[in-house]
Structure 1
Amino acid sequence: MSQRLILALTAILQEKKSLNLYVRDISQAYVQSSTHLNRDFFVKPPTELQMDEGSILRIVKPLYGIPEAGNHCVCQPESAFDLASAAQVTNPKEEDVKTLNKRLQWQINNKLKGLRFIHLNIHTLRLVVFTDASFANNRDLSSQIGFVITLADDSNKANIIHWSSLKCKRVTRSILASELYAVAHGFDTAIVLKSTIEKILQKNNLPLILCADSKSLYDCLVKLGTTQEKRLMVDLMCIRQSYERRQITEIRWIDGNSNPADAMTKGQPCSALTRLIDTNMINITPFGWVERYT
């Protein structure tokens, strides 16, 4: 996430001065990468290995925690759902293997396909957060939630900053609950990005727009509706409070076909995400929105 944010801001600021970028010390979870490191890393073996005193190990693969590992284990946004689903499987069946192999073959065929970061109008920047959820679509009847966060300007040119596809930690009893947890998850990440960008660019009140394709969620948020589940009311009130405090600029109910986050919760191809990656343009078709009085 931090790497993509730096690239997006560099594309915006490049007209003012030339900037050099260096990748260093990015720590995430990296497993099973088959690529070799570009430089030598040596570590002291842990005590559990019971090796001779003074032994030194040379790392040849992207081990968790080393600075270069982040360059080897980042998947394309299109693959997020399939890889997240595969990570949930403990006893794989033939269908699971075929689905994963199909996605891996797609990645092999599209290994050079990446994200492009373009120049945006710094005076009209805004964070646009797309969220989506699929109710009880996992094998254990849990819901899959996800989001796509973009940095855009008033001409709808956009750079993808972050995305996520994960299993909802709570078992939900309704579509509304799944959608609400997806919005809460996306907003939590977006508010961190909003604060970071404001500090880097010395820009106050960067607009943050939440977009969801669920009418029931939209009505519940903007029409002061209530739910019978107290757990949902906590998240619901958090979103409303953030809107009242102007941390959220706008909440939109959009067409599902223009929601790139749809790819984070379903295995089918998503034309909205493909269009966003290929053209760096967001095409939002709003069905409803809330106007804020100044």
Structure 2
Amino acid sequence: MKSQKTFNIFALIAVAIAIAIITAISFWIGKQAYTWLPPQAAAESILIDDLISFLVTLGAFIFLGVTATLMYSILFHRAPKGDYSDGPPIEGNITLEVVWTAIPILLVFWIASYSYQIYEQMGIQGPMALVHLHNPVGMESAYAAPKDKNAPVKAVTAPVEKIDVIAKQWAWVFHYPETDVTSSELHLPSDRRIRLALKSEDVLHGFYIPAFRLKQDIIPNHNIDFEFTPIRPGKYQLTDSQYSGTYFATMYADVVVESPEQYQQWLAQAATNKLAPAKNQAAYEYAQAASQSVKTGWATVAPGSAPLVNYPG
């Protein structure tokens, strides 16, 4: 009796140590998830990366836990060699069934709650937001976060820069109303609140910058206000995340994040340039296809005229 009690104590200690090891490894794997992603170029990217790290940590814990249990069963609970008899008849265990049903339900609610909090902080506007195209009551985008997570957060309560973004088949056009500058390249000041007025001239488009972890659908005949805060200077890429026609793959633009001083210098310099047609890859490919002797046999929407810009990029 005493030896059985001692064995049970050692078994509990072994299980506790195994859970501690699995937990530590899961947290380490979750931290590695940050290195799998593009650089955190916007305050919002920190929110998304934290969510992904959380999901990876949770998934690693479940995977390692299940794998460890299987390996333990294979190594220590195998039938003796030559034993082909049936195992003991085991009927349902109500307690076990309740536990393995309740735990996944709680995990799903935990993941859903955390994900929805991130969704609210990001301020992404889905189909329901069409009723009220400004940020719904109680929903606000993420505030600017410093590169040092221990430093105080720079809360920005109002947009600093307002930029009009026009999406059309197949080009991005960016207009800076304060200086009346039009560009085919999106320039943004670092650590400043940005408000974009997103518009589509034709079909559904998607505003997507992977380094910012931002994606917003642009719906025809509606103006959508979208806010975020760039925090890391550099050059990134904006692409159309929605299939908008034959040449949608050519619909991309450079996004340049620079210091506020460099940003103001760029605006001042661009304002002195005369309007000129921007390079349009879709128009180039369409002209090439039209000049070929072999026709595809299906109709293709002709790209719009190249936008007139002060800064072609």
- Give the TM-score normalised by structure 1: 0.30
| Structure of larger gyration radius | 2
